[in-house]
Amino acid sequence: MTIEYIRSLIEVFESSSLTELHLNDEGQEITLKREKEIQVLSAPVHSAPPAPQPIPAAGDAAPFTQEADTIIIPSPIVGTFYRTPAPDSPPFVEVGDTVKAGDALCIIEAMKMMNRLEAEFPCEIVAIHANHGDLVEYDGALIEVRRI
Amino acid sequence: MLMPMEQIVCENPFGAGPVYRFDQVGSTMDTAKKLFAGSHQASLVVTAGHQKTGRGRIASRSWSDSPGSSLLVTVAISRESIPCALHELPLRTGEAVCSLLTGLLDEEVRIKWPNDILVHGRKICGILCESTSDAAYMGIGINCLQREFPQERYGTAHKRPPTSIVMEGGGVGDPLDLLPGLLSALYDALHDEHWRTYLQTHLFLNGRQVAFLPGEAAEQRTGPAEDEIICGIVRGIDDQGGLVIAVEGTSRSWYSGELLGPCTHGPEGEIHDE
């Protein structure tokens, strides 16, 4: 077993996926071993809390950042968002209003079916994240409320 | 002589809830909502001989009727008793009415997406569906005994005047006689696994070029804004019930808006009835 032969063995071993090679050549033995690679998938250096991410609004309104103690009311269907019961009527709710369970918040119209969304609990209206007449997506953020 | 309100004997397939008959109401929709609230019923039905403030979807388009000449009904069903998706109700209600009228008339009955029923392109029935957190309401108004709807009073530049069962050659005595058949047809339509197929084959102007006014514009304007009207070919409805319109080879589904009718572009781009 010459030194050139051993070098060539090492090259072959390194280029292979073997983790261990044991060779016995007429009393001369050689063993090559490779330690397992440890792959570092992630190594957080800082442990700061994640920053709040902007949430897309349901319609054409700008993305927003949800406040810590609020609840987002999503759209149950794809449709058109109406803040008023009729074109010449005042909005169901305005920001700052407080409503009780069962009060109407808005209407989502799809295929000419008027779906009235109502408050499930007493709450304060914190923000309205869609414009009157916006086409809103399923599960898109409509109204942000704070439970009272 | 009927009392102002009575509970009538009529099989209600939706949980055997009560069926109320009024001589006159503001609207059967509003009355059904008042009666259903706190009733703990799975369903109830309100019908009336006349409604004073019948509502169309657009506030400025109220539903007008001559006393005793139309079948005016609202069916209320509790949310947990609805056998299909909420947004499918207007189309499935259309299937029910289309099925009922097809059995009464020798004429082709068509569903104009999403909630009108037409014969020869003339409206014979309007449907208005609403939902709240506890129930869905299907309002149906079928013209039955009317013998004329003068063009000058009911028609517009783009629309033909309505029609009725009698005007289309159908025989009906009292509009209320149609109620059991309507409720039965509604039950079937709400449970119909093949409702989309029915809609596709009975869809008004399917495969034709139409004028369509998208989105909320129809809700907020008394007349259409011509620059927002889409002209394209109706390609049926999608699996959510949206109207598919192809414009220059690209199809898009619409979930809100109003199908104005057939159209062709004139030399100056104006829209004409075909």
The two beta strands, B43-51 and B19-25, are: parallel
Question: ipTM, 2 decimals?
Answer: 0.73
Confidence at residue A122, expressed as pLDDT on a 0 to 100 scale:
95
Residue that has been written with the tokens 């539903």 in this structure: B63
Determine contact: A21 vs chain B, CB below 8 A: no
Determine the average pLDDT of the residues in A99-114: 91
Q: Which of B101, B131, B132, B134 is nearest to B118 (CA)?
A: B101
Mean pLDDT taken over chain B: 85
Please compute the mean of the pLDDT values over residues B16-31 and round it to a whole number. 92
pLDDT at B221 over 50: no
As a whole number of angstroms, the distance between CA B212 and CA B46 comes to: 33
- Measure the CA–CA gap between B85 and A115, rounded to whole angstroms: 12
Burial label for A3, CB within 10 Å (0-12, 13-18, 19+), is exposed
Q: Quick one: chain B helix, strand, coil %, rounded to 5?
A: 25, 35, 45
Average pLDDT, chain A: 78
Rg of chain A over Cα atoms, rounded to whole angstroms, equals 32
- Reply yes or no on whether the pLDDT at A29 is more than 50: yes
Helices (H), chain B: 28-36, 89-104, 151-154, 179-190, 195-202, 217-220
pLDDT, one tens digit per residue, over B167-190 is 999 988 899 999 999 999 999 999
- Residue range B15-29: average pLDDT? 91
Residues of A in contact with B131 (CB under 8 A): 113-116
- Retrieve residue B195's tokens: 């409702």
Cα torsion for B89, B91, B97, B103, to the nearest 10°?
-130
* Range A41-65 burial, b when 16+ CB lie within 10 A, else e: eeeeeeeeeeeeeeeebbbebeebe
User: What is the 3-state composition of chain A as percent helix, strand, coil, each rounded to the nearest 5?
Assistant: 10, 35, 55
Residue B24 reports pLDDT greater than 70:
yes
pTM: predicted TM-score of the whole model, two decimal places: 0.76
Nearest Cβ partner of B87 from A110, A116, A120?
Answer: A110
* pLDDT tens sequence across A43-102: 344 444 455 566 666 666 666 777 778 999 999 888 889 999 888 889 999 999 999 998
Asked if the Cβ–Cβ distance from A115 to B86 is below 8 Å, we say: yes
The pLDDT value given to residue A7: 73
Q: What's the rounded mean pLDDT across residues B131-140?
A: 92
- Residue A82 CA neighbour count, 13 Å, CB half: 26
Interface test with B, best of A73, A84, A112, A132 (most B CBs within 10 A): A112
- Say how many CB pairs under 8 Å bridge A and B: 81
